C-alpha cells in the first residue's frame, strides 16, 4: 500500500476558506507601508548560504541549526531564506541602490527555518518586513515604530506591547561581552549545553535563552545598558523622546538582544500575552554595520519583520473579522450551444461594467436546475440567465437567489443598470 500523501512537517497549506483574510491582511500592509513612502522589493527565495552566514552570523540559532541548506549541482552551498534582511542588503549592494539616496523598502513572503513546529512556529512561515537604508538617526527608528503601531490600529489589534533596548556600538558591546563572560564563567555550573556553547561563541545570546531554569541567573547578570557608549545613549534618549511625542507607551527590556548578530543601537519587539508562548509578533532594530560588513559602502540601516501567521492568529484570538460585507455575486447560468458562446461576451461586458462584483462563469454545462444548485452553493446573490428564449429576444433574465422577487427579463444594459443600482 502506498503511503498517504502529505505535506512536509511544519509546512502548512493555506486553504481557500482562510485565504481571503490573508489577502486582506497583505493588502492592508502593502497599502499602509506604501503610504509611508516604502516601496516593495522582491528578492529570491534562495541565496548563497554564505550570504546568510555573513549577514545573520555563524553562531546564531538560524544559521547554526535552522537553515535549509544543500549543495547545488555546481557544489555551491545554497539555502532557503530564513529571513528577509540578508537578501535585501545583498540586493542593495549588488544594485548600488544606497548611492541613489535614502532607500525605503518593504517585502512580504515565505521564510524557512527548521524549528520544532508548534502553534505560531512553523518551518515555512511568512513575514512582512521593512528596511530603511541611509538614515542613522533616531527619528528613522521612531518611524518604524510609528508604522508598525499604525498597522495594529488599522487592523484593530489590541494588547500589543512595545519593548525596546539599545545594544550600543560594536566597541561598547565587545567590552560588555567581556564583563558578561566573566559573570557567566563564575556561574558556569548553572549553564545548560546551549548556553555553554554561546558562552564561547556569542555570550550576549545567553540573555536570549528561553530555558526557564536560567532566568534567575540571566536577570541578575550585568546589564548592557550600563556599559554602552555615550553616542548610543544619546541616540536611545532621542528615540525615547520621539516615542513620547508619538504617544506610544514602551518598556525598556535590558535583556532584549535579538537572536540575530547584526543589530546595534536600537532593538525592539512588539509582544502580546494573547498567543501563549509565541508572544513576539514583530521584531526589529538598527544594523548600521551590516551593509559594509557584506561588502557595500558604509550605510546605516534599520528595519523590522512581522510574523504573519502570528498576526493572523492574534486577529482570531481577539475575535477581529476584517471582512465586512461580502461583495455582490452573480452566477451566469447558461443553456444551449449558441448561448454558451454568447455568454463569454456577456461575461466580459459584465466584468468591465461591474468591478468588484464576483461573477461565476458556469463551466460544468449542466441543466438550469443543476446550475441554480451550484449558484446557491457558492452563495451567489443572483443568477443571470441566458437560455434560448433570452437569446432569441436579445435579453437576459435576472433571478434573485437570496432575496424576494420574481425572475425578470430585460436587455443586458438594463440588467447592468439594475446591478449598479443595488451595489
Ligand atoms: P522567536 O524568538 O519567536 O524564535 P525570532 O527572534 O527567531 O523569534 P525573528 O527572526 O526576529 O524571530 O523574526 C521576526 C518575526 O517572525 C518573529 O517575531 C515572529 O513573529 C516571526 N517568526 C520567526 N520565526 C517564526 C517561525 N518559525 N514561525 C512563525 N513565525 C516566526
Ligand atoms: Mg527563532
In order along its 423 residues, the chain shows pLDDT tens digits of 678 999 999 999 999 989 999 999 999 999 999 999 999 999 999 999 999 999 988 878 888 899 999 999 998 999 999 999 999 999 999 999 999 999 999 999 999 999 999 999 999 999 999 999 999 999 999 999 999 999 999 999 999 999 999 999 888 888 888 999 999 999 988 988 888 888 888 888 888 788 888 899 998 999 888 899 999 999 999 999 999 999 999 999 988 887 666 788 999 999 999 998 779 999 999 999 999 999 999 999 999 999 999 999 999 999 998 866 778 999 999 999 999 999 999 999 999 999 999 999 999 889 999 999 999 999 999 999 999 999 999 999 999 999 888 999 999 999 999 999 998
Sheet with 329-334: strands ordered across:
358-361, 329-334, 382-386, 396-400, 408-410
Ligand nearest to the CA of 129: 1
| Residue recorded with cell 561581552 | 177
CA atoms within 13 A on the CB side of 404: 0
CA atoms within 13 A on the CB side of 367: 2
User: What is the enclosing helix (H) or strand (E) of 141?
Assistant: helix 138-155
pTM, two decimal places: 0.89
Amino acid 36: pLDDT: 97
Cα 135 to Cα 39, 78, 288, distances in angstroms: 16, 31, 9
Amino acid 403: pLDDT: 83
* Per-residue cell: 42: 522582491
The rounded distance, in Å, linking the Cα atoms of 154 and 34 is 14
* Per-residue cell: 35: 503610504
Pocket test for ligand 1, best of 11, 108, 307 (most atoms within 8 A of CB): 307
Using the atom order of ligand 1, give the atom closest to the CA of residue 280: 18
Among 309, 304, 314, 305, residue whose Cα is nearest residue 272? 314
Using the atom order of ligand 1, give the atom closest to the CA of residue 83: 10
Pocket test for ligand 1, best of 280, 285, 286, 314 (most atoms within 8 A of CB): 280
Beta-ladder partners of 111: 125
Amino acid 89: pLDDT: 97
Phi and psi based region of residue 379 (left: phi greater than 0; alpha: psi -120 to 50; beta: remaining):
left
Query: 39 with 97: CB under 8 angstroms?
Result: no
Alpha carbon of 185 to ligand 2 centroid (Å)? 26
Among 153, 136, 150, 417, residue whose Cα is nearest residue 299? 136
Task: Give residue ranges with CB within 6 A of ligand 1.
Answer: 83, 113, 115, 120-122, 125, 127, 259, 278, 280-283, 305, 307, 309-310
* Per-residue cell: 51: 550570504
Amino acid at each position: 500500500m502506498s503511503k498517504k500523501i502529505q505535506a512536509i512537517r511544519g509546512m502548512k497549506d493555506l486553504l481557500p476558506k482562510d485565504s481571503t483574510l490573508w489577502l486582506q491582511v497583505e493588502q492592508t500592509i502593502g497599502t499602509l507601508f506604501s503610504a509611508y513612502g516604502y516601496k516593495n522589493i522582491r528578492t529570491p527565495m534562495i541565496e548563497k548560504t554564505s550570504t546568510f552566514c555573513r549577514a545573520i552570523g555563524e553562531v546564531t540559532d538560524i544559521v547554526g541549526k535552522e537553515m535549509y541548506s544543500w549543495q547545488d549541482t555546481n557544489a555551491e552551498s545554497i539555502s532557503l531564506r530564513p529571513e528577509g534582511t540578508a537578501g535585501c542588503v545583498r540586493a542593495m549592494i549588488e544594485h548600488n541602490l544606497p548611492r541613489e539616496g535614502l532607500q525605503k523598502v518593504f517585502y512580504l513572503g515565505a521564510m524557512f527555518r527548521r524549528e520544532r513546529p508548534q502553534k505560531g512556529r512553523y518551518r515555512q512561515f511568512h513575514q512582512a518586513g521593512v528596511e530603511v537604508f541611509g538614515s542613522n538617526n533616531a527619528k528613522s527608528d521612531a518611524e518604524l515604530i510609528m508604522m508598525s503601531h499604525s498597522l495594529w490600529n488599522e487592523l484593530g489589534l489590541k494588547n500589543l506591547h512595545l519593548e525596546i533596548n539599545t545594544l550600543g556600538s560594536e566597541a561598547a558591546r565587545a567590552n560588555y561581552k567581556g564583563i558578561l563572560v566573566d559573570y557567566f564563567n563564575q556561574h558556569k555550573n548553572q549553564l545548560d549545553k546551549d548556553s555553554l556553547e554561546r558562552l564561547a561563541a556569542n555570550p550576549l545570546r545567553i540573555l536570549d535563552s528561553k530555558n526557564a531554569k536560567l532566568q534567575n541567573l540571566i536577570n541578575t547578570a550585568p546589564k548592557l545598558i550600563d556599559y554602552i557608549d555615550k553616542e548610543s545613549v544619546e541616540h536611545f534618549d532621542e528615540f525615547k523622546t520621539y516615542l513620547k511625542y508619538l504617544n506610544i507607551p514602551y518598556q525598556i527590556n535590558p535583556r532584549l538582544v535579538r537572536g540575530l548578530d547584526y543589530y546595534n543601537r536600537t532593538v525592539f519587539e512588539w509582544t502580546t500575552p494573547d498567543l501563549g508562548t509565541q508572544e513576539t509578533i514583530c521584531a526589529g532594530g538598527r544594523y548600521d554595520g551590516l551593509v559594509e560588513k557584506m561588502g557595500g559602502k558604509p550605510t546605516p540601516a534599520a528595519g523590522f519583520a512581522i510574523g504573519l501567521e502570528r498576526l493572523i492568529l492574534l486577529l482570531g484570538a481577539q475575535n477581529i473579522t476584517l471582512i465586512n460585507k461580502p461583495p455582490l455575486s452573480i452566477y451566469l447560468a447558461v443553456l444551449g450551444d449558441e448561448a454558451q458562446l454568447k455568454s463569454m461576451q456577456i461575461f466580459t461586458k459584465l466584468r468591465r461594467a461591474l468591478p468588484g462584483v464576483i461573477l461565476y462563469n458556469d463551466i460544468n454545462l449542466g441543466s438550469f436546475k443543476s446550475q441554480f444548485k451550484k449558484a446557491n452553493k457558492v452563495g451567489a446573490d443572483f443568477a443571470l440567465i441566458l437560455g434560448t428564449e433570452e437569446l432569441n429576444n436579445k435579453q437576459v433574465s435576472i433571478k434573485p437567489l437570496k432575496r424576494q422577487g420574481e425572475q425578470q427579463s430585460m436587455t443586458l444594459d438594463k440588467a447592468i443598470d439594475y446591478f449598479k443600482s443595488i451595489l
